[in-house]
Structure 1
Amino acid sequence: MPRLGRIASRIAGAGVLFLAGLACAPDRGSGDEQARRAGPPRSIGPGEGAVSIVAWAGYIERGETDKSYDWVTGFEKETGCKVSVKTAATSDEMVALMNEGGFDLVTASGDASLRLVHGGRVQEINTALVPSWGSIDPRLQNAPWHTVDGRHYGVPYQWGANVLAYNTRVFPKPPQSWNVVFEEMTLPDGKSNKGRVQAFDGPIYVADAALYLMRHRPELGIADPYALDRAQFEAAIALLRQQRRIVGRYWHDAVAQVDDFVNEGVAASSSWPYQINLLQSR
């Protein structure tokens, strides 16, 4: 089995946060729209006994994937609140599921959170009711992907680096640049990278291209990969169109990407720590 290495980029996605505020809380009995208009809850009442969550793979674990990782069982015993989880593979799927209704919480990334806020699918929260709010990095507390007009709609949960995953059979030494997934070239094993690299399947991947251009085309003046002017955006899109000629598959399912590295001969790809940990544990 090929071994996987990784190098991290400076981009960190937009973080992941819990959105909504009705989980295991008292039933307000007035419907989602009225609850949203009423503002955030002022107190925490008796629990409902159950909470339904839309989550990324690996975020709400009860030991089913790996017995060493189980933080649901203890929570259920301590609170009496039964946890049910619907795993989503993409931000689009999360938004679709929340639009359908029936879920209390969602671990939304920054490319989904504002769609849910502006779509009226999540409720404003009262940060005073979050005991650990003061320990959250101030840079995340009022982040624009969950704070609108001074109102908070989510609690930052974690952030993670986007990483460059590479097959150590192809790269005896770590690649020194992300150009191995953006530009056609011959890899250290003497073969072309065409058809052997992957890229993330989502609009937020434009930011990865912009980050690459920050270093490789400094004349563009990109200071924030998430805030591009027209010329910078068009340069990022042009890079992604160029990359399309060498991409074997656009990935969005983390588990499927693990299988691609193991069985399909993928040489390098943008990835997340979740896949790296799974691959390195095999």
Structure 2
Amino acid sequence: MVRRREFVMGACILAALGAALPAAAAEKELRVLTWEGYADEPWVKAFEEKTGAKAKITYTGSVDEIFAKMTATKGEDYDVIAIETSSYKRLVQEKLVQPVDLAKIPNAGNLLPAFRDVQAIVFDGKTYAVPFAWGSIPLIYDKKAFPTPPDSWAVLWDEKYEGRVLAMDDANNAIVTTALALGYKDPFNLTDDQFAAIKAKLIDQKRTVLSYYAGFDDGVSIFAQGGIDLMMSMGEPQVPQLQKKGIDAALTIPKEGAIGWIDCWAISAGARDTALAEAWIDTMLDKKVGTYISEKTGYGNTTNGDANQAIGLTYADKLVFLQAPESFSKRIDLWNEIKATPAN
């Protein structure tokens, strides 16, 4: 993501992040499953200096991959994960995560009011995650091809751009975005007829799609090689990444709206050391970390409202924030069928 997200953290952040835990934790290891950019070296170093433990980072390219890895061993391979709000209903139902005791995470007090009562992560009165970052799934375009921003998702199906479009390899995001493009009012609770229409629409889109990508870096790399005009983006940070590679890229929120997301940290049901997992989350909620998220990546953060305003994250009213869909498994099966079907 900037890698999911490029943070340049200096020594100042290390000094700001709390005192070290007892030396007894020195040989411990925390296993983190997260997006690129959510565990950059300065953050990892800050956590390790704070706790005396080592962090083992595994990066993921999609929500589908996170579920596959977590369900394989009921979460026993990971201690903490980062995933967006719509996934928690399923995670809780499948007993893959455990409740978070916010009293043991002092920096939870830094959360902005909007992120203190996110109902999508509360089940039976228990909180299962802590909000960390937010943003959108916008449309990214090359300004050389579009002097005026495209105003509709329909451009992804325009034969003029055949072979010049990148699409995300993510079942739920692809289906929700297509539902928005088709004008469906509730993209999280689709009828059988709507599923059929979306399937046909996404198969038709394969005429314009050069490639599906997984992971921020993958999308940026393919786009930067040339011949791409449009991309269904994984998020705001891909714009500065592309600009650094010489692409005059910009993003837009189409008139139909776009997906909005809130990523949260959660503790795996299979965590070996819950206290160590809580220490990781506490480190991630330091205000300086939140500030850098916005200043260096363009994502919204959950601890510094001024930093959000400063980078222009003022389009939340155009976003449809992710909710748990009627059936993740149905959406994954449909997406696999779409990918396996030749273009029309």
TM-score range (shorter-chain normalised) is 0.5 to 0.7
Aligned to 2:187: 225
Q: Distance in 1 between matches of 2:187 and 2:43?
A: 34
Higher CA-based Rg: 1
Output the amino acid matched with 2:171. P
Residue number among 194, 202, 209 corresponding to 1:247 in the alignment? 209
> Where does structure 1 lack aligned partners over 5 or more consecutive residues?
1-23, 27-45, 63-69, 186-191, 215-219
Alignment correspondent of 1:118: 93
Alpha-carbon contact 1:54-1:88 (below 8 Å) kept: yes
SS of the aligned residue for 2:56 comes to strand
Structure 1 equivalent of residue 119 of structure 2: 143
Q: Does 2:145 match 1:170?
A: yes
Contact 1:92–1:112 (Cα < 8 Å) also in 2: no
The one of 169, 180, 186 equivalent to 1:211 is 180
Q: Where do 1:165-204 residues align within 5 Å? A: 165-181=140-156, 183-185=157-159, 192-204=160-172
Q: Which has the higher contact order (CA 8 A, sep 6+)?
A: 2
Partners of 1:201 and 1:250 within 8 A in 2: yes
How far apart are 1:54 and its partner, in Å? 0.5
Determine which of 92, 110, 117 is the counterpart of 2:64: 92
1:260-275 matched pairs, under 5 angstroms:
260-271=222-233, 272-275=235-238
2:52 to 80, 100, 105: 80
**Counterpart of 2:135 in 1: which secondary structure?**
coil
What is the one-letter code of the residue matched to 1:125?
A: V
Shift of 1:149: 2.8
Paired amino acid for 1:53: V
Cα distance in 1 between the residues matched to 2:182 and 2:68: 32
Across the aligned residues of Structure 1 and Structure 2, the Cα RMSD in angstroms comes to 2.8
Q: How many aligned positions are there? A: 218
Q: TM-score w.r.t. structure 1 length? A: 0.67
Rounded to whole Å, the distance in 2 between the matches of 1:180 and 1:103 is 40
CA distance in 1, matches of 2:96, 2:112: 24
Q: 1:55 offset after TM fit, Å?
A: 0.7
CA pair 139-82 structure 1, distance change in 2 beyond 3 A? closer
Note if contact 2:31-2:80 (Cα within 8 Å) is conserved in structure 1: yes
Aligned to 2:162, what secondary structure does the other structure show? coil
**What percent of counterpart residues are identical?**
31
Query: Structure 2: which 5+ residue stretches go unaligned?
Result: 1-19, 246-344
Q: Is the 8 A contact 1:197 1:248 kept in 2?
A: yes
SS of corresponding position for 2:220: helix
Counterpart of 2:106, as a letter, is P
The CA deviation at 1:60 is 0.8
Structure 2 CA distance for aligned equivalents of residues 160 and 105 of structure 1: 21
TM-score (norm 2): 0.56
Alignment partners' CA distance in 1, 2:31 and 2:56: 5
Aligned partner of residue 151 in structure 2, secondary structure: coil
- The reply to whether residue 51 of structure 1 matches residue 30 of structure 2 is yes
Mapped to 1, the partners of 2:62 and 2:176 lie a distance apart of 17
